[in-house]
């Protein structure tokens, strides 16, 4: 079990059902499993590779466990869905973090219930570093980005900044940044809304 400590902020706690089979410890990183309609610890997230597990955890991240549950015990657990937490992180060469660094579940190699490391993309992010971390430090202050409380977007001086590959989704359509290009997912049939853009056989048109 890693070390965990709540530091500050409104935790916006919720009570959610837990998977009966799981052991949950205070401080565990929890995600929502639609198959069992319950929160589960990060080590139980699906994925054939660590990269898959990081993305799946981020897509369903709920928060930090504020109470424990034994294996085989049915019931619910109290979960913090917001706030700043000191969470175990790898130390050593290449592990320093700056404020705003996005973080993912796991130690950089494998998934773990109470460990985070630098994320490679916003698709892996479950939080951001809320204070600098040196290579010698074994914990990082993380502002968690629960799917219940945050959009995972970072606002700075009136701008919304997306990491490369990040996007803004409107229903089934997305505006996404890729390198120096802005990629817009446009409908391929006339949406019937004046002024809207759509693609007709490869040609971008404007609805009159």
Q: Are residues 90 and 128 in the same domain?
A: yes
Q: Are residues 138 and 184 in the same domain?
A: no
pLDDT at 4: 59
Tokens at residue 155, please?
């606002």
Q: Which pLDDT tens digit goes with each residue over 28-48?
A: 999 999 999 999 999 999 999
Q: Are residues 96 and 19 in the same domain?
A: yes
Task: Phi first, then psi: give them for residue 54, nearest 5 degrees.
Answer: -60, -45
Q: Are residues 20 and 120 in the same domain?
A: yes
Residue 166: pLDDT over 90: no
Q: Are residues 69 and 101 in the same domain?
A: yes
In terms of residue numbers, what domain contains 33?
4-150
The domain boundary, picked from 102, 125, 150, lies at: 150
The domain boundary, picked from 131, 150, 169, lies at: 150
pLDDT at 161: 61
Residues in the chain: 208
Cα maximum dimension of the chain: 62
Burial 117-132 (b: 16+ CB within 10 A, else e): bbbbbbbbbbbbbbbe
The domain boundary, picked from 150, 176, 196, lies at: 150
Among 62-71, 98-107, 157-166, 171-180, name the one with the lowest average pLDDT. 157-166
Q: Are residues 27 and 111 in the same domain?
A: yes
Q: Which pLDDT tens digit goes with each residue over 105-156?
A: 999 999 999 999 999 888 899 999 999 999 999 999 999 999 887 544 444 4
Q: Are residues 66 and 100 in the same domain?
A: yes
Residue 179: pLDDT over 80: no
Q: Are residues 114 and 74 in the same domain?
A: yes
Domain count, the chain: 2
Q: Does residue 155 form part of some domain? A: no
Q: Are residues 29 and 75 in the same domain?
A: yes
List the one residue out of 78, 96, 88 whose CA is nearest residue 114: 88
Residue 169: pLDDT over 70: yes
Residue 93: pLDDT over 60: yes
Residue 178: pLDDT over 80: no
Q: What is the mean pLDDT of residues 54-71?
A: 94
Q: What is the mean pLDDT of residues 72-94?
A: 94
């Amino acid at each position: 079990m890693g070390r965990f400590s709540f530091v500050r902020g409104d935790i916006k706690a919720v009570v959610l059902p837990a998977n009966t089979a799981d052991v949950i410890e205070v401080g565990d990183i929890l995600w929502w499993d639609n198959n069992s309609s319950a929160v589960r610890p990060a080590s139980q997230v699906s994925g054939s590779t660590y990269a898959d597990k990081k993305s799946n955890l981020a897509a369903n991240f709920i928060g930090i466990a504020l109470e424990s549950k034994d294996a085989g015990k049915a019931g619910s657990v109290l979960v913090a869905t917001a706030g700043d937490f000191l969470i175990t992180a790898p130390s050593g060469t290449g592990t320093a973090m700056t404020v705003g660094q996005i973080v993912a579940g796991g130690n950089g190699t494998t998934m773990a219930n109470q460990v985070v490391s630098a994320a490679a993309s916003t698709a892996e992010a479950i939080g951001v570093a809320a204070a600098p971390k040196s290579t010698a430090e074994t914990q990082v202050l993380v502002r968690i980005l629960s799917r219940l409380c945050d959009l995972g977007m970072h606002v700075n001086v009136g701008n919304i900044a997306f990491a490369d590959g990040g996007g803004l989704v409107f229903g089934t359509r997305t505006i996404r940044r890729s390198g120096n290009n802005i990629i817009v997912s446009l409908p391929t049939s006339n949406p019937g809304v004046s002024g809207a853009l759509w693609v007709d056989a490869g040609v971008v048109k404007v609805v009159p």
